[in-house]
Structure 1
Amino acid sequence: MAESIWPDEAVVLAARSGHVESVAALISGSHPHVRRFAYSLCATPEDAEDAAQEALIILYRKIGTLRASGALVSWMFRIVRNECLRQLRLRTRHFDPLPERDVASAEEEMLRRLEAERVAEAIAALPLDQRQVLIMRDIQGYSGRMVADLLGLSTAAMKSRLHRARTALQNELRDPSWDAKC
């Protein structure tokens, strides 16, 4: 099976300038990569499809704003990641509304954002099978039986993956080397 490659720089440059055929070639050439990345980040195949589709729509609408044609890959991956996070926020909003509280200080808000980003990165680093189970069970709030059924697993296999995911996540978040990165 031949490995597909991202559209070349000439196609990106032509698409940035509004050439219709190049825009179509850019979107169709980017689709397999965007889809694969979405599947690696999102909790469910449905979320991945939605995130990939939204990312390609953003590509179509904003290709003219891309500053450097060599930045296409990182730009698209960031868009996909943001779309997967948006999908996750939409799902979690329906399960556990947060109570209103006093407005946090700017420092508290920044620390909260850094911690949330750290947790999101740790979850994204999990293997796909563990990440799916962890997100569906602990973040989306599905029952163990429902997660197992949705993923075509036995309950025991789902519990095993969930345990491995939680353990890996705890170990990553306890890692003192992260503090050195800040």
Structure 2
Amino acid sequence: MSSLALNADNFNDITVSTKTGNERFYNQLVSAYSNDLHRYAYWLSGDKHTAEDLVQETLLRAWKSLNRLQDRKAAKGWLMTILRRENARRFERKQLQQSDIPLEELSAAETTYDTSTEAFVLRRAMDELPDEYREPLVKQIIGGYSQKEIASQLGITSAGVGTRLFRARQKLRDMLAA
């Protein structure tokens, strides 16, 4: 990876109106953010192969709509949003019609474990975290930002972010265990 590919500020130097400019800009996006996309996709899916598929679909959608990206400095957030939506589409495609479920499985399907309660409890626990712990945790988990990126956004050291992330997770564990 070149230093040009890793510096989002240099994205503005490329004219996207030409096909060559589009390709160069797209290649720089892929070089700069593919690792972050893979990490986030793996976090969302929990499976390496599914994560790879999600990233492929994300990059395909990004290529098709590259001309819609208005602020090049927001490219990472734009890609993460595409990835998150692609992950949601994965579940939309997999939803079964009730008629697709055999009758003998209907009673078992009705007694399956409901994860919406867990999500509700987790959200409440996250809301109870002090801002100094919640903010870096959300940026890392939902935003897919690295410790260094979070540090620069919050104006603290990378070690400080690591400490806050550790404490946030510990506080969540304690709250959820109670």
Instruction: Normalising by structure 1, report the TM-score.
Output: 0.47
Larger Rg: 2
Instruction: Normalising by structure 2, report the TM-score.
Output: 0.48
